[in-house]
């Protein structure tokens, strides 16, 4: 079943942004080469990307079959989408009617291996 996975933001200083969430919310910070700095609050994450990353977005976690079905529904609706392989996950990026970027993300292991 789909559920909210993370909110992502571009920032000039991902470490500083994550440290704020650590101080205020007690977030657990995870850094991995080639990935955004993650701040986990419970089972939800904030992803802080360097400027020039994928852009601000909200990600919804879906299974592989759900992601494939979503791509078909987006095609049927004439909504442009782009798939990105993150190594640990694959994401389908698209925009809602108001222009907000969304990602439907599927983790290769079934869950984010960095998550607490």
Q: What is the pLDDT of residues 68-97, one digit of tens each?
A: 999 999 999 999 999 999 988 999 999 999
The predicted model scores a pTM of 0.86
CA 6 – CA 104 distance, rounded (Å): 10
**Token match 């078909």: residue?**
72
Q: What is the pLDDT of residues 16-64, one digit of tens each?
A: 999 999 999 999 999 988 889 999 998 899 999 999 999 999 999 999 9
> Is residue 10 predicted with pLDDT exceeding 90?
yes
The structural domains of the chain, ordered by start, are 3-107 (3.10.180.10)
pLDDT for residue 110: 73
Q: Between 108 and 51, where is the model more confident?
A: 51
């Amino acid at each position: 079943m789909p559920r909210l996975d993370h909110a992502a933001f571009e920032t000039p200083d991902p470490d500083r942004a994550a440290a704020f969430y650590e101080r205020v919310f007690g977030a657990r910070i995870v850094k991995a080469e080639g990935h955004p700095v993650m701040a986990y609050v419970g089972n939800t994450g904030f992803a802080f990307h360097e400027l020039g990353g994928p852009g601000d977005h909200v990600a919804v976690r879906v299974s592989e079959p759900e992601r494939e079905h979503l791509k078909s529904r987006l095609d049927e609706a004439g909504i442009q989408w782009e798939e990105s392989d993150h190594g640990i996950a694959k994401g389908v990026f698209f925009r809602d009617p108001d222009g907000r970027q969304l990602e439907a993300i599927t983790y290769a292991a079934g869950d984010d291996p960095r998550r607490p």
